[in-house]
Amino acid sequence: MAPVVLVTGCSAGGIGAALCAEFAAQGCQVYATARNPAKMDGFSHPRIAKLPLDVTSDEDIRRVVDEIVVKEGKIDIVVNNAGSGAAGALLDQNMDAVRQAFDINTFSILRVCRTVLPVMAKRQTGLFVNIGSVVGDTPTPWNGLYSATKAAAHMISEVLSMECRPFNISVMNVVPGSVRSNISNNMTENFELPEGSLYSAFLPNIIKRIHASQIESSMPTADFARAVVNKALSKKPPLRFTAGGNSTIFAIFRWLPRAFVLGYLWRMYSKR
């Protein structure tokens, strides 16, 4: 029986959509979800079904999980990919934006895993794949809120990897570097400095940081998805998997003196 996969955050042009296409290509039954189903255009594989899902709603998650279990009798893999950008100076973020970023990028992982856990535990098998970021390990200026949400997501993945062992459920913390997607364009369209910001002189640096993940060395989305899916469907998925542009330099950053790394990144994104 084909593995059943639930993927969150599957808007067209993003990592989630590419993951859905690759899981389906490798024989899985895939349930692609997004808050706005109209944004999930382009799926053509017969093994991909689209469902609306608001990952900030316990009730909505329960509805989707119940629907899948009724149809399939199981959920083998959950990919927590739903995410929201949070560009700008950390102290320019109002508390509504802070709560929203953590709600989508971090708390949704807990909501989805908590709802699916009993389904997987009953069968004593399953895999949670949580999409983090290299900036969850090493932050950069003008992306601090996003970095904080992903740092928390990494810790959640590591704790879940221990606490899910009694049920034979694995956890895979995916740490992407630069991967081609539409995230930068979406953030640029919606970004503006708050009135009276003390950081107005750094606007060009903030815009530069927003587009930093979409450079020539960024990994094509399909290649990234293939690498992740191959690991997820392997006999023993790794606890941590990193791929994408700049992933090597960020891996080196983790071993260098912290003050040096933060100073280097500040100089990179503060030139005027």
* Per-residue pLDDT tens digits for 75-123: 999 999 999 989 999 999 999 999 999 999 999 999 999 999 999 999 9
Q: Residue 111: its pLDDT value, please?
A: 98
26: containing domain: 4-268
Q: How many domains does the chain have?
A: 1
Annotated catalytic residue: which of 146, 235, 264, 271? 146
Q: Residue 129: its pLDDT value, please?
A: 98
> What residue type is assigned to position 197 of the chain?
S
Band (213; pLDDT cuts 50, 70, 90): confident
Annotated catalytic residue: which of 150, 199, 264, 269? 150
Band (189; pLDDT cuts 50, 70, 90): low
Band (272; pLDDT cuts 50, 70, 90): low
CATH number at residue 153: 3.40.50.720
Q: Residue 188: its pLDDT value, please?
A: 65
Examine the residue annotation and report whether 146 is marked as an active-site residue of this protein: yes
Band (191; pLDDT cuts 50, 70, 90): confident
Mean pLDDT of 242-265: 96
How many C-alpha atoms does 263 have within 13 Å on its Cβ side?
5
Band (147; pLDDT cuts 50, 70, 90): very high
Q: Residue 26: its pLDDT value, please?
A: 98
Structure pTM?
Answer: 0.94
Band (3; pLDDT cuts 50, 70, 90): very high
Q: Residue 217: its pLDDT value, please?
A: 81
Examine the residue annotation and report whether 235 is marked as an active-site residue of this protein: no
Mean pLDDT of 32-44: 93
